[in-house]
Structure 1
Amino acid sequence: MNEERVLATYLIETPYSLEYAAAVMAGEQSTGTFVAVPGETAFIKETYGAKVVRITELEPALTPSLPGVKPPKEEANLVFRRGEVVLSFPYHNFGPSIPNLLATVAGNLYELREFSGLRLIDLEVPVQFTEKYLGPQFGIEGTRRLTAVNGRPLIGTIVKPSIGLALDDLRGLVRELALAGIDFIKDDELNGNPPYVPLKDRVKAVMEEIERAADKTGKKVMYAFNITGDIDELRENHDAVVKAGGNCVMVGINSIGFAGVSYLRQFAEVPIHGHRNQWGAMTRCPALGMEFRVYQKLSRLAGVDHLHTNGLNNKFFESNESVTRSVQDCLTPMFRGNDTVMPVLSSGQWAGTAIESYRSMKTVDVLHLAGGGIMAHPGGVAAGVTSMKQGWEAALGGQSLAEYAMTHAELAQAIEKFGRP
């Protein structure tokens, strides 16, 4: 029997002893249930049972983080013990299957009444998963090759308003952005295949403008078309983009699932831009869900080439420290050096976030998206694109924003507008 195992690390909170709680987790997700059943032999337990590898005690809590916990009857003064638990699962319980892996490491654990908090914080899977899951096809190197951008971050934007534009308005915006020298444009996650502007019509209009601009500038913008839909729509949507000369597709990972991403990856001819909308529901509560470290590993296995991480000083709940860790996780190889993905910085971004991003992340291998930071620039869209480039020029040159803005009008206008030099 194959002795390869999966290691899953959890943060738990429980009114029971950590040892008891860990044993409940291991049993519930392998060979056990709430009562002994016929057939649960010593051989079955030894061959298929999960094992507790390590328990690290942390500071306890006086109140439960989550509702619904069932405390021990014998304890009058409850203490909610917290700890880090590592469980080991036999690989042969589920094989190279992300859906069945998730049923094991992130299944009914969250509902167990022995816990007032439970969060999956890391996951290590054996290399056998790469025999089925193809991982990133283009990643950072392939994206740079297609966009001809080296030595600096890719600068991009999102079509706004989020719900999309009428075709004539979209044409004008794409034309202006492409002629301004932007590297990347994407559909918003809200704009998929709406009846008022079907995807096929959007693809045709956008690619005509991109090709015309490329004839003038010699630079072909990468445009991530949102092809999110039901599984049976993915190939048709992908093929429509490729047939029109498109060079990127985008999917909402949580909308189509990891299995949907893997299916798309099997025939994808262009990079897959992975959007993580709905992610907040999976992670915002610190005592529930999973860490991005786990999520990005599964997304990479499934085959995305770009993955959203949020940006510094974003409009969402996520801290700058968390964003920086997420970027570093995306850039850390899993099995081989070429299985990293391009982190995508977004949310509340403008030229002024470049310096702090470079200082904290220490990399130029990011795709830096600014929606309002480009679209709402007082000098117009083209000036917004230029200001983003100037922000990164200042960062890479070791200059302050204020200093660089003295000789760069677009950056000065951005500082005046967005007000965070």
Structure 2
Amino acid sequence: MTSSDRVTATYLIETAFPLEQAAATMAGEQSTGTFVRVPGETDELREAHAARVEELVELGDVETPSLPGSGLPKGGGDGRRRTARVTLSWPLANFGPSLPNLLAAIAGNLSELKAFSGLKLVDIKLPPAFLDRYQGPQFGVAGTRRLAGVFDRPIIGTIIKPSVGLSPEATAEQVRTLVEAGVDFIKDDELQADGPHCPFDARISAVMRVINAHADRTGKKVMYAANLTGEIDEMLARHDHVLAEGGTCIMASMNSIGLPAMKVLRAHAQLPIHGHRNGWGMLGRSPALGMSYIAFQKLWRLAGIDHTHVNGVDNKFCETNDSVIASARECLTPMFDAPHPGCEILPVFSSGQSVMQAAATFQALGTTDLMFAAGGGIMAHPHGPAAGVRALLLAWEAAVAGVPLADAARDAPELKAAMAAFGG
């Protein structure tokens, strides 16, 4: 069996047990072992199916356990609680190219083991065999750009607000304001799917009448990500309604529907899938538990999303800028070695974004292959939404050219007003 037939997963751990013992516990628990050797666990079986500890790097000590419920080794240990980076590998034959069963192996019972007061999955590497079963993104960066008609700059996006409460007709009127302002992309809020006050089919029909009429007049067809999250049969029918109305994007809440449902949606879809990550904070916020976004987004890329949120620089949430940029960079990084498809997807920057973050985002990421979604940064512009969109375009033009924002604003009233409004 070659290395290309193995899955690897990297973790950050915290434990009062000797590190080698702790790592061996992880490998045994998630493959052939249990707390005691059992009949049938032969040397041959272990050789063929046991997980291996590929790397163990000690990182330092902590004074107190990060999570409750952890135990001590027999005799109480040496009084130290160590942290480390551990990489395990499994033979693909244990579970096959199956994302649900992969998750059972790499993120199953590990976080409940008493030996650990911290255990977080931070990265995975999968063999190309997964590409034989999972299609990956259908549109990705290039296909999304083509449908949005935006090249050589970020796609400028926004969101319908208030999140819920608008009727289909009121939603369409807000869309009218936004398309006339020159925005490239509009999305439903993840809280708005198919409620009785704003039924999905009626909302999409009303919105697409506005978008199609604008496209007929101007040649620019704004991409609208319709939130079709629901049961599988509902999502497939909703996709078909969007397609029939001339829509160019759908949106699904990843954690709500699960990987198998996303795989079904991807196989059916003829439109880009905007994967919304709501709920990821439960997995990612704790440094001692859960899963990093770098690992998380790889699973969903294989399942078929085309773009996904990565938060934003200087965002309104708790995520650091370094974490945001690392996530965005990973979305644009191939998952597999050549000649296999890269499965790159478009990172979506959002959460309190305005003209003030454009330069820092570009400097950190080094590319304009991204969507820059601003709600208040467009709608709350003192001179109106059109000035808000214009200001963002000018801010990104200055960022790419290396021109300081204040210099670019001297002869640009929209940008100057945006800096005054959002600079605080």
Q: TM-score per shorter chain, which class?
A: over 0.9
Contact 2:204/2:226 (<8 A) preserved = yes
The aligned residue for residue 372 of structure 2 is 368
Question: Structure 2: which amino acid aligns with 1:312?
Answer: V
Q: How does 1:167-246 map to 2 (within 5 A)?
A: 167-246=168-247
Which of 347, 355, 368 is 2:351 aligned to?
347
CA separation of 1:69/1:159 partners in 2, compared to 1, >3 Å: closer, same or farther?
A: same
Which whole-Å CA distance do the structure 2 matches of 1:76 and 1:51 have between them? 25
3-state secondary structure, aligned to 1:390: helix
Residue 78 (structure 1) shift: 2.2
Residue in 1 that maps onto 2:67: 66
TM-score normalized by the length of structure 1: 0.97
Counterpart of 2:33 in structure 1 is 32
What pairs up with 1:40-119 in 2 under 5 angstroms?
A: 40-75=41-76, 78-119=79-120
Q: Contact 1:293 / 1:329 at 8 angstroms: preserved in 2?
A: yes
8 A Cα contact 1:13 1:80, kept in partner: yes
**What runs of 5+ residues in structure 1 fail to find an aligned partner?**
none
Deviations, residues 21-77 of structure 1 (Å, cap 9, x unaligned): 011111110111122222222222111111111111111111111110011241266
Amino acid corresponding to residue 308 of structure 2 in structure 1: L
Amino acid corresponding to residue 285 of structure 2 in structure 1: R
Q: CA deviation at 1:337?
A: 5.3
Q: Which amino acid aligns with 1:191?
A: Q
Cα deviation 1:202-224 (Å, max 9, x = unaligned): 11000000011111111000000
- Which of 408, 411, 417 is equivalent to 1:407? 411
- 1:74 aligns to what SS in structure 2? helix
Output the CA distance in 1 between the equivalents of 2:230 and 2:306. Answer: 19
Is the 1:2–1:92 contact (alpha carbons within 8 Å) kept by the matching residues of 2? Answer: no
Tell me by how many angstroms 1:168 deviates.
2.6
- Aligned CA RMSD, in angstroms, stands at 1.3
SS at match of 1:145: helix
Alpha-carbon shift at residue 167 of structure 1 (Å): 2.4
In 2: Cα distance, 1:349 partner to 1:6 partner: 37
Q: Equivalent residue of 1:294, what SS?
A: helix
1:392 aligned residue:
396
Whether the aligned pair in 2 keeps the contact of 1:179 and 1:217 (CA below 8 Å) is no
Q: TM-score, normalised by structure 2?
A: 0.96
Runs of 4+ in structure 1 over 2 Å off: 35-38, 75-78, 335-338
| Preserved contact between residue 29 and residue 104 of structure 1 (Cα < 8 Å) | yes
Alignment partners' CA distance in 2, 1:114 and 1:181: 56
Aligned letter for 2:347?
P
Residue in structure 1 matched with residue 255 of structure 2 by the alignment: 254
SS at match of 1:12: strand
Superimposed CA distance per residue, residues 361-414 of structure 1 (whole angstroms, 9 cap, x where no aligned partner): 111000000011111111112221111111112212221111111111111111
Cα distance in structure 2, aligned partners of 1:33 and 1:375: 57
Tell me how far apart the structure 1 counterparts of residues 401 and 354 of structure 2 sit (CA, whole Å).
Answer: 18
CA distance in 2, matches of 1:164, 1:342: 30
**Counterparts of 1:200 and 1:243, CA distance in 2:** 11
Unpaired segments of 5 or more residues in structure 2?
none
Secondary structure at the counterpart of residue 352 of structure 1: helix
Q: Report % sequence identity.
A: 53
What is the letter of the counterpart of residue 403 of structure 2? Q
17-26 vs 372-381, which moves further? 372-381
Partner of 2:281: 280
**1:321 — aligned with what?**
322
Structure 1 counterpart of 2:306, one-letter code: D
Partner of 2:158: 157
Aligned 8 A contact 1:346 1:370 in 2: yes
Equivalent residue letter for 1:140: V
Query: Which whole-Å CA distance do the structure 1 matches of 2:101 and 2:151 have between them?
Result: 39
Partner amino acid, structure 2, of 1:359: Q
CA contact (8 A) 1:351 1:373 kept: yes
Pick which of 319-328 and 375-384 moved more: 375-384
- Would the aligned equivalents of 1:358 and 1:395 in 2 still touch at CA under 8 Å? yes
Residue 319 of structure 1 and its aligned partner are, at CA, apart by 0.6
- Equivalent in the alignment of 2:141: 140
Task: Check the 8 A contact 2:229/2:252 in 1, yes or no.
Answer: yes
Q: Deviations over 1:322-371 (max 9, x none)?
A: 11111111111112455200000000001221111111111100000001
C-alpha distance in structure 2 between counterparts of 1:19 and 1:141, whole Å: 45
Secondary structure of residue in 2 paired with 1:87: strand
Q: Distance in 1 between matches of 2:107 and 2:342?
A: 27
Q: Distance in 2 between matches of 1:215 and 1:88?
A: 54
Instruction: State how many pairs are aligned.
Output: 420
Shift of 1:176: 1.6
SS of aligned partner of 1:296: helix
Output the CA distance in 2 between the equivalents of 1:85 and 1:388: 43
Q: CA deviation at 1:296?
A: 1.3
- Whether the 8 Å contact between 1:136 and 1:301 is mirrored in structure 2 is yes
SS of structure 1 residue aligned to 2:382 = coil
Q: Deviations over 1:241-297 (max 9, x none)?
A: 111111000011111111111111101101000110000000100011111111111
Is the Cα contact below 8 Å between 2:167 and 2:203 reproduced in 1? no
- 1:380 maps to 384
* Aligned partner letter, 2:281: G
Distance in 2 (CA, whole Å) between partners of 1:68 and 1:343 is 37
Contact 2:239 2:250 in 1 (8 A): yes
State how far apart, in whole Å, the 1-side matches of 2:79 and 2:197 are: 57
